[in-house]
Amino acid sequence: MTNPSDYKYVRSHEWLCYVDDDRVRVGITDFAQQAMGDLVFVNLPIVGDMTTAGEPLCDVESVKSVEDIFAPVSGEVTAINEELMDHPELINAAPYDAWIAEISHITDTEELLDAAAYEAVCAEEE
Amino acid sequence: MELLFERSHSGRSLENIPATTVSEYQLPEQFARRTPLDLPSLAEVDISRHYTELSHHVHGVNCGFYPLGSCTMKYNPKIGEEIAALPNFTQIHPLQPAQTTKGCLEVLGLAQQYLCEITGMDAMSFQPAAGAHGEFTGLLLIKAYHHSRGDGAKRTKVIVPDSAHGTNPASATMNGYTTVNVPSNAEGGVDLDALRAAVGPDTAALMLTNPNTLGIFDKNILEITKIVHDAGGLVYYDGANLNAVMGLVRPGDMGFDVIHLNIHKTFGTPHGGGGPGSGPCGCKAFLAPFLPKDQIKENAEGYCLTQPAQSIGRVRSFYGNFLVVVKALTYILMLGAKGIPEAAQGSVLNANYMKTKLSEVYDVPYDGFCMHEFVLSLEKLKHETGVSALDVAKALMDNGIHPPTMYFPLIVHEALMIEPTETESKETLDRAIQVFMDIYHAATADAESLHQAPRHTTVRRLDETRAARNPVLKYTPDKD
């Protein structure tokens, strides 16, 4: 699967896509879902949560392990993808459509990579 | 196989329930059942066959090799069961007067004395029901200590290495602490510079397993505990891997302040369904005033129960899982001061033997001698053949071997974590090594055959994903 070129990526394997200047959608990358295997539970954040760039946003559980998902930006969670509560497999099936949370009122941002730079990070880890 | 409910036939019953010796009590109307209980109707033979059939579908340490890393699935001597079944231990009630249970108090007193001697601690509580519960209790002690000194509010962080058992951060979180991860160094131990950078006036404790989950004894342990103590924090010993060092070195001498033991691992008592477990929490004398209620002490009249001055209260009813302690004391007395360190040495010898043989074909990510367990990485095998650690684990089941711990520790990809224990003979290890070798060669020759494993078990490969996503946790009667 190719990483969409209009998305941005962070080294901890989350993607973000700008909905408008001050609002992003966040999910996990294809590399991350493949490494974790079949997801069985997404512990979504709560609308109103304040996030800190580089700190855990929420966690996801696969048959292998539980992993933290890190917030790529500081801001406020203004929406969550409730469909994932009953259907965590959507992340495995379409990681770049299955957004986890929407974060607005952004005050800080992690180092963002474009698709090519992120693919180099993945190649290094393999 | 059929469930007990599915074996039910109306009219069949068991007639051997004795008549009640207490008078019947009529519940108040609002609590009484409206419909009869939906219980299966079975003869004794149906029940006996059901459970015997179930027992044929499992693999326990009485069936064969069980090298489940960090779980210490050693063989549990049967004498432990015999002693724990003595009526003097089974026919007592926790509320009967203490002067009528002197023998039982002596069991707890002696077990405390010996376990303190082995670990270098000064006092121990047997209340915690298993390892994670012991961790939780240990952190409660640490919290109570910091609060008693007036800096509980600012010490909010618990440090754990990235190779830690998942229960460590869980216990810290349950106690309201924030967890800070420190990375491992190239040798698999704690990165000292990262630890120095992580400690500070907000450090409540460091939680450490030594030897750790890579089976490596951290040679910097004295420096590690000093760094934390110098910052005003305490150091917690996760006793999961004590089997490798019991009777040889003592956590108390390494600088640890609090410890839990998994006596169902280290001291020869059954795990899980054969349990229950027991996770006593031990501490140095300066923490003893905070221990849970009902501490065992010896005075002029023998053993008695005392209440620590600043006790955190109870973490469980009464005295914990008492009969597990009876089995552990039996084990300690049976092995004695000579046998305990010999058991530890045997576990290290067996692990190094298997590791050396398996490293001829499998990748071992951390070189050098290991302690009681070691970790293989199947990342290369998976990359080259598509055969994963999970496939290898399933193939082991076809050969009468319980799979090792998989995908843990998290810092090793496609990990298999193997702990043979001291109770296995060289013949068992040689056979297991051969099986591992055969599976490796099968993976390179015919990967597909391993994706199909297991073939010879009662059920084939289970859909773990579906079971986790849609668990069926209870029987629902068919109403037709």
CA distance B178 to chain A (A): 12
CB contacts, 8 Å: B166 with chain A: 66
> Does B469 lie at the interface with A, CB-CB under 8 angstroms?
yes
Task: Answer whether B79-335 and B337-460 agree in fold.
Answer: no
Residue type, B431: R
Considering only CB atoms, B465 lies closest to which of A63, A65, A66, namely A63
> Does A123 lie at the interface with B, CB-CB under 8 angstroms?
no
> Does A85 lie at the interface with B, CB-CB under 8 angstroms?
no
Q: In sequence order, what are the residues at sequence separation of 6 or more whose Cβ sits closer than 8 angstroms to the Cβ of residue B434?
A: none
Does domain A8-125 fall into CATH 2.40.50.100?
yes
DSSP B107-120: HHHHHHHHHHHHHT
pTM of the entire predicted model = 0.89
Which residues, listed in sequence order, are joined to residue B376 by a DSSP beta bridge? B416
In the 8-state DSSP scheme, what is residue B214? T
In the 8-state DSSP scheme, what is residue B412? S
Runs of H (alpha helix) within B27-92: 44-56, 78-84, 87-90
Backbone torsion region of residue B318, taken as left when φ is above 0, otherwise alpha when ψ lies between -120 and 50, otherwise beta: left
CB contacts, 8 Å: B469 with chain A: 40-41, 88-89
> Does A64 lie at the interface with B, CB-CB under 8 angstroms?
yes
What is the chain A residue with the closest CA to B466?
A: A40
Model pLDDT, residue B476: 86
Model pLDDT, residue B375: 96
* Contact state of A64 with B465 under an 8 Å Cβ cutoff: no
Q: Give this complex's ipTM.
A: 0.75
In the 8-state DSSP scheme, what is residue B20? P
CB contacts, 8 Å: A40 with chain B: 465, 468-469
- Check if the beta carbon of residue A70 is closer than 8 Å to that of residue A95: no
Residue range B79-335 forms a domain whose CATH class is alpha beta
Model pLDDT, residue B100: 92
Model pLDDT, residue B410: 82
In the 8-state DSSP scheme, what is residue B220? T
CB contacts, 8 Å: B170 with chain A: none
Residue B437: CB atoms within 10 Å? 15
Model pLDDT, residue B480: 53
* Cα→Cα distances B23→A70, A98, B26, B125, B345, Å: 62, 63, 10, 39, 58
pLDDT per position as a tens digit, B124-171: 999 999 999 999 999 999 999 999 999 999 999 999 999 898 899 999
CB contacts, 8 Å: A64 with chain B: 406-407
CA distance A40 to chain B (A): 5
Model pLDDT, residue B20: 84
> Does B463 lie at the interface with A, CB-CB under 8 angstroms?
no
Give me the residues of B, 127-166, that contact A with CB < 8 A: 166
Higher pLDDT, B228 or A1: B228
pLDDT along chain B (480 residues), means of 10: 91 82 90 88 94 91 94 94 95 90 95 98 96 96 98 97 92 95 93 97 98 94 98 97 97 98 93 78 98 93 92 94 95 98 98 97 92 96 94 96 92 94 98 98 96 93 88 79
Residue type, B278: S
> Does B34 lie at the interface with A, CB-CB under 8 angstroms?
no
Q: Would you list the domain boundaries of chain B?
A: 79-335, 337-460
Considering only CB atoms, A40 lies closest to which of B407, B410, B468, namely B468
Does domain B337-460 fall into CATH 3.90.1150.10?
yes
